[in-house]
Structure 1
Amino acid sequence: MATFLVPACIRMLLTFAKDKLTSYANKIDFIETGAAPMPLEDMRLLCQVLPQTRLYNTYASTETGIISTFNYNDGECLAGCLGTPMKQSSFFITADGIVGCKGKTLMMGYWNDTETTAKVLKDGTIITADLGSIDMKGRLRLHGRSDDVINVGGYKIAPTEVEDIALAFSGVKDCICIEAPHPVVGKVLKLLIVPDVDYNRKNLVNYLRSKLEPHKVPVLYDEIAEVRRTFNGKIDRKSYR
């Protein structure tokens, strides 16, 4: 069998049904994921649970079609890596660090909306809202969404980088990194955590300090019951702004 699962569904399976998933390891040909960034810790755990399964991280959208894909269970488990372009597609990085896409899979335009189409599609090219780079092997590497980046003290921080590190801590079930007002410096990072049974805030802070640059370590913390998500499993960042 093979299937497509968004990262939130994969996390649910790994959390609540890892043993059951392991029992099907020799029956799953491949699992493709997309729609949202997948935490590195989840990628590594899925590779352990399904060592023989092809695990694809795919870059695609309604506007672009499938642009590239990467099997992270083939020797290199790399967060944010989306592989080389498909045969009918190509990508490039603008001077602002934004991913642009070309190829035969791009949309013709939004239905009856030429004004919005003109903002997104120009000369057969779609400029996305994704921040990225191309590595030495020609693979696309995503660094977050340009509209999600938090500017704190002149530093531009991708919240997904903070979240990936926090999710690797055993006491964190789920989390979201947001910006919050501060009476002295104006704006700081705040981490909202869905705690697990062994959660300890002090230990988490020390862990983040050991893994992140100082300006990327959240100043404020709070525990919540759940992280708000959209219908397809993406973190609903807009609702926290």
Structure 2
Amino acid sequence: MNLADRLHAAADRLGGRAVLTLDEAELTYGALEELSARLAGLLRCRGIGPGDRVAIMLPNVPEFGVVYYGVLRLGAVVVPLDPLLKRREISAYLGDCGATLLIAWHAFAETAEAGSAGTKADCFFVVPGEFRRLLRGVAAEREIASMAADATAVIHYTSGTTGRPKGIELTHANLGGNAATVARMHALGVDDVVLGALPLHHTFGQTCSLNATVHAGARLTLLRRFEAGRALEVVRRDGVTVFQGVPTMFIALLDHPGASDLSMLRVCASGGAALPLDVLRAYEARFGCEIIEGYGLSETSPVAATNRGGRHRRPGSIGWPIRDVEMKVVGEDGRELPAGAIGEIVVRGPNVMKGYWNDPEATAEAVQDGWFHTGDLGRVDEDGYFFLVDRRRDVIIRGGYTVYPREVEEVLYEHPAVRQAAVIGVPHAGLGEEIEAVVALRAPVTGEELRDFVRERVAAYKYPRRLSFVDELPMSPTGKILKRALLRPATGGRSG
């Protein structure tokens, strides 16, 4: 099997229909198939073959699909990189995976060249217009490489790693199966238009937006970057029916003064981070479209669990495992815990990664007896619905008491003045750790008022004694709040 087979099959059925659009730019299924075949031909002329790693550093543009499926068509491995990476990061990733080529967007040429210097990767730059003219002069690679189900298709580097980079190997079976499951759960069809707001270099956007769209024969209308007003404009202009986002996107839409009825959306799906319950309720009340919250990690391709629509949804939960996937909550000894008990969420199924690239020790630690240990703390209720409590590494121990930051953050989000919130632990001589809340506001409020608001709603040891106000909290490219950026690496204390 090969992920590129999905595109080939869709092009046979829907050759003249649009698959990727960005404002006025459009690629049909037939054009995407033809251009990706020519890109594969270009790569073969450069000596690239099955198993070779090709890094791609492209924003959300139609050319991403051309390069992505072209690399896969040849049997090579895609290594997606965030276009905003700096020289040092690019060099580390290219060196770790041994990429032979870096295909980058022309606007990032200087950084890409600097990052590839000293590695064995050559650079190739994608310039709109010029790119297509170049490919027209290349013989197409008509044959799609036949790949084993467990052959590596993509190596993703996680944004949260420290020290030596860890590349997540996802196979053709991992990604193809997960995309098919997403398409089936969302009932995607040829008449659907999916909003491409998620970064395609990330597994969430790749699987749930790009690959699921192609699998279903739908259309993906792209945003170069998410901005609430622009997203609303594209939703209405293009008749978007499916919006997949992260919590910060839903918060931004709530804050936008021009946002109104969005009941034309058939599906709203949230993932990537925990969605505050107060945000979910406010969004649904204002826009008339329910949000389906799910859960997953890059190591699980990414979807592992999700709510289903209507009466099968339990707000505040991450639902239950998707088809053919098992999940359970285990204690420190690895044994399954009873309903209601908090422990680590572990996942087993065809979506679990092949392993970490060239890192058997990290792989063995993460995947034990087929179960991937997520590092996320959660619980499951009597009906089988899973609830995410927090990341294990984010838990605060204050004077011997365990505090889950997400619980405190949920209370902060209930306050109408709070737009973003992150709760962290900072060193304290007597207590071990003290609780601090870092908050971005949408309306004026004093620290004392906010502290009292939380204190009235949680146990005395849980409320934040320290409060910091910022204009914006640091975000990853996928919209996660980067708590590590709020800490000084040397001391664990708050940054200035």
Instruction: State the shift of 1:28 in Å.
Output: 0.2
Alignment of 1:12-23 (within 5 A): 12-17=252-257, 19-20=258-259, 22-23=260-261
Q: Does 1:46 align with 2:292?
A: no
2:379 aligned partner, one-letter code? S
Distance of 2:392 and 2:428 partners within structure 1: 23
Deviation track 1:117-152 (CA, whole Å, cap 9, x = no partner) reads 222112211011000111011111110010110111
Change (3 A) 1:75 1:61: closer
The match for 1:87 is: 323
Q: Which residue of 2 aligns with 1:113?
A: 359
Q: Residue 251 of structure 2 aligns with which residue? A: 11
Partner of 1:223: 469
- Taking structure 1 as the reference length, the TM-score comes to 0.90
**1:129 equivalent in alignment to 2:366:** no
Classify the secondary structure of the residue corresponding to 2:272: coil
Cα shift at 1:231: 1.5
Does structure 2 retain, via aligned residues, the 8 Å contact 1:57–1:72? no
> Which residue identity is paired with 1:8?
T
**Cα 1:102–1:186 shift into 2, 3 Å:** closer
Name the CA distance, whole Å, in 2 between partners of 1:69 and 1:237: 25
**Amino acid paired to 2:484:** K
Segment of structure 1 superposing worse, 69-78 or 110-119: 69-78
Say whether residues 1:24 and 2:262 are aligned partners: yes
Q: Following superposition of structure 1 onto structure 2, how do residues 1-241 of structure 1 map, counting pairs within 5 Å?
A: 1-17=241-257, 19-20=258-259, 22-25=260-263, 27-51=264-288, 53-65=289-301, 66-71=303-308, 74=311, 78-79=315-316, 81-96=317-332, 97-182=343-428, 184-241=430-487
Contact 1:33 1:58 in 2 (8 A): yes
Q: Equivalents in 1 of 2:244, 2:429: separation in Å?
A: 45
2:247 alignment partner AA: P
Distance 1:153 1:185, change over 3 A: closer
Deviation at 1:54, TM superposition (A): 4.2
Structure ranking higher on relative contact order (CA contacts 8 Å, 6+ apart): 1
Higher strand share: 1
Q: Aligned-pair distance for 1:93? A: 0.9
- Listed as ranges, the gaps of 5+ residues in structure 2 are 1-240, 333-342, 488-496
Q: Is the 8 A contact 1:55 1:73 kept in 2?
A: no
Read off the aligned partner of 2:448 and give its amino acid letter. Answer: K
TM-score (norm 2): 0.45
Deviation at 1:186, TM superposition (A): 4.5
Q: Distance in 2 between matches of 1:91 and 1:101?
A: 5
- Structure 1 residue 236, shift from structure 2 partner: 0.6
**Displacement of 1:107 after TM fit?**
1.4
State whether residues 307 and 313 of structure 2, in contact with CA within 8 Å, keep that contact through their aligned partners in structure 1: no
Give unmatched runs, 5+ long, in structure 1. Answer: none
**CA contact 1:170–1:199 (8 Å) conserved in 2:** no
Report if aligned partners of 1:170, 1:198 keep a CA contact under 8 Å in 2. Answer: no
Give RMSD over aligned pairs. 2.0
Number of residue pairs matched by the alignment: 236
- Paired residues of 1:34 and 1:57 also in contact (CA < 8 A): yes
Q: Take 2:353 and 2:310, find their aligned partners in 1: how far apart are those partners?
A: 31
- 1:131 aligned counterpart, secondary structure: strand
Distance 1:45 1:204, change over 3 A: same
Q: Secondary structure at the match of 2:394?
A: coil
SS state of the match for residue 211, structure 1?
Answer: coil
Identical-pair percentage: 25
Structure 1 residues 211, 104: CA separation in 2 closer, same or farther (over 3 Å shift)? same
Whose radius of gyration is greater, 1 or 2? 2
State which drifts further: 40-49 or 178-187.
178-187
- Distance in 2 (CA, whole Å) between partners of 1:36 and 1:179 is 19
What is the Cα deviation at residue 230 of structure 1?
A: 1.2
| Higher helix proportion (structure 1 or 2) | 2
Paired AA for residue 282 in structure 2: L
3-state SS of paired residue (1:191): strand
Q: 1:182 to 1:147 in 2, by over 3 A?
A: closer
Q: Secondary structure at the match of 2:321?
A: coil
CA distance in 2, matches of 1:77, 1:124: 28
